[in-house]
Each structure stands twice: as structure tokens, then as C-alpha cells.
Amino acid sequence: MMREPMRPSLPVAILAAALLLPAAAAADEGMWLPSQLPGIEEAMRGSGFQGDPKDLSDLSRPPMSAVVSLGGCTASFVSPQGLVVTNHHCAHGAIQLNSTPENNLIVNGFNAATMADEVSAGPGARVLVTDRFERITERILARARGKTGRAYHDAVEAASKAAVAECEAEPGYRCSVVDMYYGTDFHLIRQLEIRDVRLVYAPPDAIGSYGDEIDNFMWPRHSGDFTFYRAYVGPDGRPAAYSPDNVPFRPAAWLTVSTEPLAEGDFAMLAGYPGRTFRHRTAAEFADQVEWQLPSRVELMSALLAAVERATAGDADAGVRYAAQVASLKNTLKRAQGELDGLRRSHAVAERRTQEAAMLAWLPSQPDAAAIRADIDAAAEVIASARGTRERDQLFGLMQAQTQLLRGAMQLQRLALERGKPDAEREAGYQLRDEARIEAALRQAQRRYAPAVERAILAELLARHRALPADQRVPEIEAVFGADAASAAAALEALYSTTALADEAERLRLLAAAPPEVRASTDPLMRAAATLQQAALRLEDEDKARAGELLRLRPAYMRGMIGHARSEGRAVYPDANSTLRVSHGRIESLQPRDAVSYAPLTTVEGIVEKHTGVAPFDAPAPLLDAIARRDFGATVDPGLGTQTVNFLTNLDTTGGNSGSPVMDARGRLIGLNFDSNWEAVSASWKFDPRYKRAIHVDARYMRWIMARVYPAPQLLHEMGLPLDGADRAPAEADGR
């Protein structure tokens, strides 16, 4: 749940109605709600869109109904038999989960010859199909009015939980309450939650992540970043856990893959579930991001990577177990560095300060100006109050987020605590609706854990905790791990050499046990978690009290900034919050700096140029052989006379857009989004049209790999695509 509902004294309904009418955006800026698209029809048609934007605003109609969330990435249906295409890096966890040192699917790739050969993507894998988006602002804010701080937070949370519980009364759905424009408007979202997701096809890592971290966020790029899943349901057509008896899901719509060439200037449109953007944050928050958060993140991720790499050196099994976590750490590190560089290059802090000053100068002429300004100043004080403990909070959060057994132990202790309450009063994340996900995480830990590696991660974080000023250290951490390096080393050795939680059966036994039995556990890691939970609850109370004030106060700042922006004709699309959004624009080249110009399409010749035979530029022999033969068939680019790989657009994207389908002017799939260029990583905070580009894998490259390099004719046929030089394959797979 998002955390910023609006101060009730403001005219919520009037402001909400105004915000649904888009203003002109700079260049092709904007992650638009589907409901806003009819309001920007002129801009979309100016970019080349040939459909009716009203069709895009209806989530029950194609192509929007074919676009799904994976709970962190985006994907889309591409056949009537539940075939789903997304990025290779989005499926990396599932590929790793099914890998062993003897059969490493990360290295070898995976290709299920038949549906019977498809393998589970893991108990936590989900395909989420949005079918409802309903405004419920008055219901959420009704009991928050007149409250402050923690009470305001709790009132909004209680109303949100009640709405979710009512929505999920019908089995098979996952519901959530989100807000737009930081509390102005609340919406209830319902998603069909498909729980049996299977891996169908994944190219080898040397194709799927060609260039790896060296090329990450870079252009030119030559990555075949695509993978196929399939969604399965029970024989009755309803979502069900994995079972051999399940059948492929029959989606209401699926995307048709285009077989036409691409060129600079062509219209492009992307639909997906972008995670979070922060473009409407205060100037002080922009400064905090540049001056502390990003430098701190770069340094921390570098240290954690080094710790993992030391602990996995010479251990192939541990290397496989931590492959997905290492990839995530590397991505976070590089993204943070790129974001920092980009915000500095665009002078984002200075520009935001100028915008904020202009808004404050404009504000006195507006109704309720004094009250709004008072709330803006109060919100600034609340934001500033978090700075004193931010290092502590970051380290304690990472101790849980970057571990497997410790995190599992703390989840078990917290669940035991919450199970003693009525479900509506349980902490979000620990309600009945969440227990299946907790179980999935506890199961998956078996393939993502090695004791030496987890100890190394904790040792690094504990050393940093000991370096904090005495008044910032968490007493419970020192009670468990000691206050010096020798004590920490001894505690880690004792905890991880004697705990039984490394056994999946023991974790699941505790999950099923009654709360008193869990709390009475004598397992050393469970006892440690019980102690650490005291700190987690105390810090959580502090955080909610602060968040409650921002729930009440931040909307005043938003009213000022949005009102001022609209007075100048600037865009007012909401910050991204993992809800379905649409961006539109064109295939476009890039001129990132003086005398440098990048073409918008790359070709297989670039793969050969980069190839060294050493990872990450170790193109596999079948790929190099096919390039040498110039065996391109139906996917050859007629203008370039060769096979394309990736392409650039000026589409507005951020994290969570990975796997998003990129469509042409008629709504046909032309590629998958998988990255941003280095110069535009900072777009989560600031959109700069000079530099913002999105990087996509060309659908023609996907088809070529599946036809000529690592053949999957069964999938091409299923998608209605040509197997050779023909223009079309069977019409039975046409999207609708």
C-alpha cells in the first residue's frame, strides 16, 4: 500500500478530477494511466498511433488485457495457450532454481520440447492479470479525517485492508489499494493470481545476458534478453498451485508478433508495470538522494558483492545458488551509479529547487495558501527527521533482505506473533493471504543458501553496524552478535553451525506449528530472530509514526507543485507505483555528448565485434556459426541487409518495466523492454528528453534465435510465426 493520502481539508474531488485531464508533456514524457490516454489522443496520433486510445483505456480489451505483471517485472501473453514472454533476467531466478552443477540451465539454456517437459518456475512465481481498477478514495479516507501521525496511518491501512479482504473474498484473486499523486486518489486493483508458472524456453546466458554487467545500461547493446513462461490453472480453469493435472491458462487476449521491419521514427508504445518513480518529491529529497542515498548504495552494494564473491570462490555449487542474488546486487550497484551520474549531469537538485521556489512564489495567490504552506513546512520537518537514523535503518533492512535463513527465521517469528490477532489486525504481509508467499520463500531458500555465504554477508553488515555512532546502534543486534569483530565471528559460527533451519522440512514444520511452539523454539537462529524482532517492532513503530504524518502532510506539497505545473501547461501524470502504465514515442537515435551519435538499431555484427571467447563476451558457437553463414531467413532487416538485435526508443520507462511489450502503431509486438541507457538511469527521479532512451530486444532477433540458433519451432508455430521465409504461419494463433 502506498502511504500518502491527502489532507482532508483540501478539495480532494475537485483536484482529483483536474488531475485526470493530462496537460502537455515534454517530448514523449509520461507513464500514463490507461484511463488518461483518451486525453492525450492528439499527442499519440502525432507520434504515429493508428488505433483508438479509448480501446487502450479498457483493461478488458486487447492489447491491455494481454499485459501482465510478474510481481517485479512485466510480461505479456503471446498465444491462446497461456504462453508468456518476458525478459531473460526476469526469469533468472527460475532458471537458477532449476539448475544444478551437472545441468546448469544458466549456461546451457532450456528448451521444453513439449508442454510435458516444462518445469516449475518455483512456488513463488506468479502471473498477475489485472481486471479491475476502481476509484475508492472516499472509502479509504473517511475514517482518517481529523487524525494525525500513527492514527492517520492506521486508519488508512485499516480501510485498505478491509477493501482488499472484500475484494479477495472471491478465490483466485490478489487485490491491492494504491494511491495516485501521493494520496489524492485511491484505487482498488484486482488481479487474477496465477500460481502455477512454468519455464518453457530460455536461451543460454551467453545470449540472454550477452555483455552482462559490462554492457548493463550501455548502448550499443547486443543482448537476447528474452524467455518464455507458461501460465497454468486447475482443470476447472481457476488458479491453483502446481500440479501435473493443471492445464494451460486460456487468456482473453494475446499479442500478435509483428513480422515487419523497424526504422528510426517509427511509432512505439510500451505497456507495463513500472515500479516506483519519485519525480514529484521535494527538493530536499532530491538532495538527499544525490548527496547520501546513492553514494551510500554504491559503496554498500560493492562491499556485499565482494563478500559474496570471496565466499563463493572455488565453490561451484555456492556460485549457482547465489547467481540470481549476485545478478541483482550488480544491477542495483550499476543502476545506483548511473542514477547518481545522471542526476548530477542534469543538475536535477538545482532544477528541483528552482521549481519548488517558483511554486512557493506562486502559492500565495491560491485558495488556502497559508494552510497549504504550513503543511509543506511541517512535511519538510518530518522528512528531515529521518536523516538521523537512515544509516542504521538501511543496515538493519539489508540484514533481513540479503539473507535467507535469518530472514526466514524472522518471518517465522513475526508470523507467530501476527497469528495471535484477528486477520484484519495483522501486519500487512503477514495476513492469511500472504502465508502462501511466505511458504514459497521458505521453500526456495533451499536452492539459494550456503552457510558460508550468508555468514560473509552478515559479517560485512555487522562490521558497518559497529562503526555507527553508539546512539545509532541497535542494542538487539549487539545482544545477538556482540559488540566487536571477535564476538561477531564467534556468534556467526555458533548460529550457523548448530541451526536446524538449513533443513527445509524444519522451516516448514515451524511454519505449520502453533505460535507458542514457534516462540518456544530453542533453535539458536530462531532465538536470535526473536531478539531481533523486538528491534524490528520498535523501529517499525517509529517509521509508521513518521509515515503517518507524511500521509497527512505531503499532499499539500503535491497540490502546490501540481497546480503550478498545470498553470504552465506541464504534465501531471502520477508517479509510477507498480500499476499498469502506458508510454508512447518513437524509435530514436541518441546523441549523448559532443561528437557522439548512436544509431537506434544494433546488428549481429556487433556480437562478433565484441566476442572475446571470455565471459561476458563469449558468444556460443551455434550463434557465431549462424552469423557467419548469414543464415537470417525471414527476419533479415531489408534496409540493413543483416539481422538486428536491439533497438532504442524515447519511451518513458523505469524499473519494473523489464519485460514490458513494445508495440507498433497497430498494437503488434515488436520487442521487449529490458534496460535504459546509462545517461538515463536517473529517469526514476527526472525525465531528461535529451538523454532518455529505452533499450529493447528486437522481436525479429527473438524469432531468429528460435528459428536458426536454438530452434523452438513448436513455439514459433504456437505464436503463428513463420518457420522459414514465409510471411505468415497458421492464422489460428492470431491475437484478439
- What is the CA angle 2-68-213, rounded to 5? 85
Residue 372 in contact with residue 366, Cβ under 8 Å? Answer: yes
Helix (H, G, I), strand (E, B) or coil at 483: coil
Is 187 a known active-site residue? no
With CA atoms as reference, report the closest residue to 123 among 196, 53, 222, 206.
Answer: 196
Q: Half-sphere exposure of 624 toward its Cβ, with a 13 Å CA cutoff?
A: 13
Catalytic residue among 89, 92, 153, 465: 89
d(CA 703, CA 698) in angstroms, rounded, equals 9
Residue 178 neighbours by CB under 8 Å, 6+ apart? 1, 2, 186, 187, 189, 577, 578, 579
d(CA 519, CA 416) in angstroms, rounded, equals 7
Is 658 a known active-site residue? yes
Is 365 a known active-site residue? no
Q: Output the CA torsion sign for 225, 332, 353, 386.
A: positive
The helix or strand, by DSSP H or E, that contains position 567, with its residue range, turns out to be helix 524-567
The helix or strand, by DSSP H or E, that contains position 294, with its residue range, turns out to be helix 294-312
Whole-number Cα distances in Å, 189 to 143, 160, 164:
21, 11, 9
Residue 728 neighbours by CB under 8 Å, 6+ apart? 259, 720, 722
| Three cell numbers written together for 523 | 533453535
CB atoms within 10 A of CB 343: 25
How many H-runs (helices) and E-runs (strands) does the chain carry?
A: 28, 20
The helix or strand, by DSSP H or E, that contains position 137, with its residue range, turns out to be helix 137-141
d(CA 549, CA 387) in angstroms, rounded, equals 16
Residue 117 neighbours by CB under 8 Å, 6+ apart? none
| Three cell numbers written together for 689 | 528528453
- What is the CA angle 186-390-304, rounded to 5? 105
Catalytic residue among 225, 523, 675, 698: 225
| DSSP alpha helix (H) spans, 574-698 | 604-610, 621-628
Catalytic residue among 57, 521, 583, 658: 658
Positions marked catalytic: 89, 225, 658
